[in-house]
Chain A
């Protein structure tokens, strides 16, 4: 059952080939046996999942057909879930049980999804390796001792090992796409504003965007259709109708023009990844797509600009964690300042503190213009580069990551080396564009991802190209031997 995609699961459930309860039990058993090694889940909601599965079975028996009815899924632990621990990978929220659901959570619930648990992540979504979790690092199912990527590392590892057929993730600088690439799955970061951020613990508000992670583009289309849409509780969510992403999956890509940014295929890209991308380009050419080189001249400014904007916003967003109303509070505070200092020193991990300090500095009087304002200007330049490129091409293709999954601990002492992991993914966040990663080969035993970046609200096109590609390749359906 676990080798099935969400699409086939939906058909099987509708045909009563097995029940949602049986299916969920199967995945829960897989979680039980694999999680001690992978550490992909922070919380497993066994009882509520089985209860929801039985309810879904009753609905299915009545012939009900909501899009995710009875389908087991999991949420990244950044999404608030009513009555269920929402830790955000932090000691700060180790005890935080929200009295409300994130909009994404309630939408998927009303689509009938059965939630098996909450997945591990880098603390407050800050990291590219999932080593920054208070609940411990996650292991990549494809290689012992390898990181799953981050920050949605738990979600990627869980889907990669098929402990669950699909998960939610969030992507601020690549946190859906980079772990998807490392774990051999498909993930899409939608256009900024496409998916509500309400109830999603904020890291960098102007960059954060939730999205689906699953084995195939087709499954991502199904999940995204349930997640997306205007939410009056999020002022930055956009009031545009949600297209039927699955409906455009059959469209021919003959005549499609895809840009290859010169800057994405330059020095620093791993040879095996470059080769895998060339092979993917050939496959897409066979399907009728044509490729041209495009310029994204300000790409090299993306990582520096990101590491001003994201920390600046995070330094403010994380101020609410002060030990006063919820979350970690130090023992016996001597006075107010002691309460703040110790609660925050104890509650936050290293990387989070680093970014709060960085962001506080960037926003300080006398530095604001030189850092924050300049970074915002660079954002505009980067957006304009893409706008220019999209005048001649339909979308852009490149690598998701410069290297395959690295070893645990490899970059722990060098934050800049770690930050450079997101060199190809960050530009789409800065510009607010949709971007997808899909598996396109292996470097040794480790999966490789290709990235597609599209113009605003062209998720359907990206999903369709990935889907067409997945019709003629089988990288997406391979499983690590240990979890087959």
Chain B
């Protein structure tokens, strides 16, 4: 039988506020356990939550970025369940009236194809703390530093039909929240996490199959693998005549498999009800308008601009605008160097990206900064170095963080553009190769390349290639 995969994602984006969503504690990652948990975060008796307005503003920005409805009156609700890292015995979340309603995002698939993925809603909630299993032998510790960190839970429609689409969608949201500066997107630190609802159905069937929710996915690679594993598992289950059960499954990256966490029967009845400690959040037009004014250019708009203004291909423009840092890096590079956009694009997506891949680095962590990149482009653009030498220069810059100018001076890599110096080298090479000269003049044009190579070698690669070619042709003509 032919099966169709149906995927919906729930993405938890940690909002980049300085303090927690309902208390004044700091949200900095990696502090000593419980050093960032005050009486409110600890759920002490009698203490009360006070909403952080910055979190509200960030949720509204997300709505503006996705053209989603803004919940003009949203309500915080309590989600009740017991867990040691949940200090109050309930999580403050939003249930019936979320702050962000329906919206959509456009994803680009590989063959230049586009697809629209529906957003069901996005709501504000507080994160839980962490259970620590390795700090005390035989006991579990609780670290509440993360408790109360603001999250925006972004829920999609079940609109994705493959793991690749799910990854494209997740990357798009990841790019968007970073563009609008509401989330740092750091997946290792858990600032951006995905849960995937996966089901399959026979091709052509209208009803959805029973879904499993996969939790604990903390990279795009794992998202793809977890979904593919789960789809295979469900096909096996159905083809063996059994039924998929509705359950929560955990993705284990080490074993590359999903396994059951709890079934629907064991699921909690969360007993949602409006939190009487918090007033409904009313969002005024004035807040929306003031936030709209601060919205940066969004990836889609920027991509269009790159195509129009820089005459880049749709593909290149898409790659460069996929995240804000890359697009900024690119634009800073051309603005500071005056080099053509296409040169900057091919160097960024080629030489720089390949070095990032090789070293498993994000652009933000790379030894090459945007002004260094601009410096390198400028030296190519003004013919101080050739493209070939530029690769060597970049290697040095990458290794020790030097500027292009420093490397060029230190290593003596300045391009030789002095005609008389180049002519001298040409004369020497011609004098040393009389038989090749005769063959060339006898009509063997291909030998031009041989002579270029010999002169370039003599110049240690520094001869200006354009000048060299021109001068060499003249001399060989005789």
Contact = CB atoms under 8 A, between A and B. Distances in A.
B39 interface: yes
Contacts of B273: 312, 316, 363, 368, 372
A121 interface: no
Given A233-B50, A316-B78, A325 B45 contact: no
Contacts of B80: 315-316, 319, 363
Tell me the dominant secondary structure on chain B's binding face.
loop
A80 to B, nearest CB: 5
B56 to A, nearest CB: 13
Interface in B34-60: 39, 42-51
Interface residues of B, number: 28
B46 A80 contact: yes
B292 to A, nearest CB: 27
A202 B46 contact: yes
Given A325-B42, A368-B273, A320 B279 contact: no
A298 interface: no
B271 interface: yes
Contact of B276 (A198, A205, A324, A336): A205
Contact of B46 (A199, A232, A312, A360): A199
A100 B277 CA distance: 19
Interface stretch (A36-44, A91-99, A133-141, A475-483): A91-99
A381 B189 CA distance: 50
B271 A364 contact: yes
Interface residues of A, number: 45
Nearest to B80: A316
A235 B277 contact: yes
B47 A198 contact: yes
Given A202-B46, A368-B273, 13 more contacts: A98-B46, A99-B39, A100-B39, A197-B48, A198-B46, A198-B47, A206-B276, A235-B49, A235-B51, A236-B278, A312-B273, A325-B87, A363-B80
Contacts of A204: 276
Interface in B150-183: none
Nearest to B278: A235
B271 A316 contact: yes
A236 B44 contact: no
A326 B89 CA distance: 13
Interface of A: 78-80, 86, 88, 93, 96, 98-100, 102, 197-202, 204-206, 232-236, 312-313, 315-316, 318-322, 324-326, 336, 340, 360, 363-365, 368, 372
A199 B48 CA distance: 8
Given A99-B39, A316-B78, A319-B88, A233 B48 contact: yes
B387 interface: no
Contacts of B45: 80, 86, 88, 93, 96, 98, 201-202, 320-321, 326
8 contacts: A202-B277, A206-B276, A235-B277, A235-B278, A316-B273, A324-B87, A364-B269, A364-B271
B277 A98 contact: no
B142 interface: yes
Contacts of B190: none
Contacts of A205: 276-277
